[in-house]
Structure 1
Amino acid sequence: MALFLGHALDCGRAVRQSQGMEKLTTDVAIIGAGPAGLFAVFECGMLKMSCVLIDALGETGGQCAALYPEKPIYDIPAHPGIEASELIARLEQQIAPFAPQRLLGRRVEKLHGSQGAFTLTTDAGDEIAAKAVIVAAGAGAFGPNRPPLEGLPAYEATGAVQYYVKRREALRGKRVVIAGGGDSAVDWALALNGIAESIHVIHRRPKFRAAPESAAQLDAAAARGEIDMVIPYQLHALHGAAGVLEAVEVADLDGATRLIGADVLLPFFGLAMELGPLADWAFQLERNHVVVNPARMETTVPGIFGVGDIVTYPGKLKLILQGFAEGAVAAHAIHPIVYPDVALHFEYSTSKGVPA
């Protein structure tokens, strides 16, 4: 998920990386420890290639861990519904036999060399020698688009304004105001229904940019009186003291205002995304995405591959399951780089099992 994110779990327990400078040698360096990066470890491991995972946060999981750990995901094969944090925990269990080295809390600053002999340097001074590189940096470095409201930092500091919901239970009994018109706003309004004391959804127009089924569920909840739709309005001001929120002031398109009693404001206005050092590297970019050849998932730089939301090619879908498939394609394309004198005979996992 996101550029050089991470959340290291070992059967559900956080594993912190040491803070000392490291010098590591590996077959494949994987930049980004979201779902696509984690599954790429598995695919490389099945081909007996070692990996180092590098990520800027202290835990793996990318956006699944950082933004919506309790949010259910419905399009993972064999899981009719699975919470994001549980998906990451299961991926960690899946790659555990391959014991990938981890550099978490690190940001890759430099990448130089060529196919078979790359060197990556982090902001902590770590050096990683790798024969190939997989960029699995999700959407790049991200942060929330903040509403232009006076006194906002004080409310952010106390948690009265939150951009990500880590635990639904933390909002039990709270008066919640949600602002936004996309999937996050709609999904969290539905997820918090029955948990929060009250839910007000603020949007500038009646139509939401969300999945039609979810939008229909929101309309139904509003019709039952469970959720109050505040339309067409937008955020205008926050009222409270010492970071304790008392009310959210909203304004309609004519400038008329109203107050909504609130304990927590959840503004969902999307993410501000940046590629960071990736933008200065030599491969081709298209609209802040890395261009790859889908037959190999290789970038325009030989030996550097890309998987997940960071890449683009004709027919690309930003789905976790497609990122998984891309990891398999990349691993098979990398094998001749790591083992140039070994013929790769395709085998199903049901035949060969998990290599020791």
Structure 2
Amino acid sequence: MLHSTDVVIIGSGPVGLFAIFECGMLRLDCHVIDALDAIGGQCAALYPEKPIYDIPAHPQVTGAELIDNLERQIRPFNPTFHLGHQVTHIDQLDQEGKSWKIKTSKGTEIHCKSIIIAAGVGAFGPNRPPLDSIENYERSAVQYYVKSRETYRGKNVVIAGGGDSAVDWAISLSEVATRVSVVHRRPKFRAAPESEARLNDLASNGIIDLITPFQLEGLEGDGESLKAVVVKSLDGAIKHIEADHLLPFFGLSMNLGPISEWGLGMDKSHIQVDHLTAATNRPGVYAIGDIATYPHKLKLILTGFAEGAQAAHSIRQFIYPDEIVHFEYSTTKGIPTKEEKAA
């Protein structure tokens, strides 16, 4: 199937979604491609109920709420989504970089004038602990992220890991689970100081069990339902922790896939961009969000939002260099009407 549009955005996480809004405000139509089957990226797939505290004007918002708000914000611009598609090829059709052909894993072909890569960390999946038969329990008892706290109400939960996800979810699930046990290979955690202090306070009051310094050793159950998690200390001591669920939070494995083969200026697993425009080394191709890098960058969602605005304005100027666009605040400009977008 062949499509034509102004901008193709690769990635539908929060930064990619806000880029749709910024492009729409500049009367640029967008098609959006994402390997996942739903919009939202990691916020929707991994942390829908996890609170986010650094979104302006939202003292606290969950990942799911943030994505829902962004989806409503872009609705007037009618973007076209190609979900469950992975970009396999991008081909430059002209010397200036104002004509591109994109192909996806499902045979879709899109011609566009510019590309925004908002792929976050690329394709992602959990880092699985090397436990025998863990795959058998992944259907029911072992989860690598929390979609709903209610799943764990009245259950015995073992959380493994020492980062922010492990600590934050231990604190949160202690409100609904019968028992939460946290297994970590050392007493010190790699979480925000306030969160670690809260975790230690809950442990001191007997609400959470801290199992340190221990590591995962094995699982006990019938191959589907979990009965206990076996842990082992550095000196060989063994413990059996009663468990209905195991949540191993050992981070994500990242895979950029074909992106690394597109001739972009790569810095390890990131794309180097001009911090003023979000432009890559290829004309007409921009990168924003976690995948983009430049000196002194802050990896925050709000940084990605600003990069989306920079990319949209840069693209408008790149595509239509002879057209004078007077920047206006949304408070005075409002959302472009159908007539304005068609003009």
Question: Residue 10 of structure 1 corresponds to which residue in structure 2?
Answer: none
- 2:231 pairs with 1:250: yes
Q: How does 1:20-169 map to 2 (within 5 A)?
A: 22-113=1-92, 114=94, 115-157=97-139, 159-169=140-150
> In structure 2, how many angstroms separate the alpha carbons of the residues matched to 1:98 and 1:185?
38
Unpaired runs of 5+ in structure 2? 338-343
Q: When the two structures are superposed, what TM-score results if normalisation uses the length of structure 1? A: 0.93
Amino acid at match of 2:128: R
- 2:251 pairs with 1:270: yes
> In structure 2, how many angstroms separate the alpha carbons of the residues matched to 1:79 and 1:229?
32
> In structure 2, how many angstroms separate the alpha carbons of the residues matched to 1:173 and 1:300?
53
> In structure 1, how many angstroms separate the alpha carbons of the residues matched to 2:175 and 2:75?
38
Question: Residue 203 of structure 1 corresponds to which residue in structure 2?
Answer: 184
> In structure 1, how many angstroms separate the alpha carbons of the residues matched to 2:147 and 2:319?
40
Contact 1:30 1:51 in 2 (8 A): yes
User: 1:88 aligns to what SS in structure 2?
Assistant: helix
Contact 2:133 2:223 in 1 (8 A): no
The Cα shift of 1:302 comes to: 1.0
Question: Residue 187 of structure 1 corresponds to which residue in structure 2?
Answer: 168
- Deviation readout 1:298-331 (Å, 9 max, x if unpaired): 0111110011011110111111111000000000
Contact 1:35 1:91 in 2 (8 A): yes
> In structure 2, how many angstroms separate the alpha carbons of the residues matched to 1:300 and 1:211?
36
> In structure 2, how many angstroms separate the alpha carbons of the residues matched to 1:44 and 1:168?
36
User: 1:254 aligns to what SS in structure 2?
Assistant: coil
Contact 1:131 1:337 in 2 (8 A): no
> In structure 2, how many angstroms separate the alpha carbons of the residues matched to 1:292 and 1:136?
12
User: 1:95 aligns to what SS in structure 2?
Assistant: helix
- Deviation readout 1:75-106 (Å, 9 max, x if unpaired): 00000000110000000000000000111110
Contact 1:145 1:269 in 2 (8 A): yes
> In structure 2, how many angstroms separate the alpha carbons of the residues matched to 1:334 and 1:299?
12
Contact 1:140 1:273 in 2 (8 A): yes
Select 1:313's aligned residue among 294, 299, 303: 294
The Cα shift of 1:255 comes to: 1.3
The Cα shift of 1:256 comes to: 1.2
- 2:213 pairs with 1:232: yes
The Cα shift of 1:341 comes to: 2.8
Count of paired positions: 334
User: 2:228 aligns to what SS in structure 1?
Assistant: strand
> In structure 2, how many angstroms separate the alpha carbons of the residues matched to 1:125 and 1:340?
33
> In structure 2, how many angstroms separate the alpha carbons of the residues matched to 1:225 and 1:190?
13
The Cα shift of 1:337 comes to: 2.8
Contact 1:139 1:310 in 2 (8 A): yes
Contact 1:49 1:338 in 2 (8 A): no
Select 1:339's aligned residue among 309, 312, 320: 320
- Deviation readout 1:191-225 (Å, 9 max, x if unpaired): 10120110000001111111111111101111111
- Deviation readout 1:3-41 (Å, 9 max, x if unpaired): xxxxxxxxxxxxxxxxxxx31111000000000000000
> In structure 2, how many angstroms separate the alpha carbons of the residues matched to 1:148 and 1:112?
40
**Same amino acid, percent of matched pairs:** 57
> In structure 2, how many angstroms separate the alpha carbons of the residues matched to 1:288 and 1:90?
30
- 2:303 pairs with 1:325: no
> In structure 2, how many angstroms separate the alpha carbons of the residues matched to 1:299 and 1:337?
13
> In structure 1, how many angstroms separate the alpha carbons of the residues matched to 2:32 and 2:136?
35
- Deviation readout 1:107-156 (Å, 9 max, x if unpaired): 00000115110111000010011100000000111110000000111001
Amino acid at match of 1:34: G
Unpaired runs of 5+ in structure 1? 1-21
The Cα shift of 1:342 comes to: 1.1
Q: How does 1:293-304 map to 2 (within 5 A)?
A: 293-304=274-285
Question: Residue 177 of structure 1 corresponds to which residue in structure 2?
Answer: 158
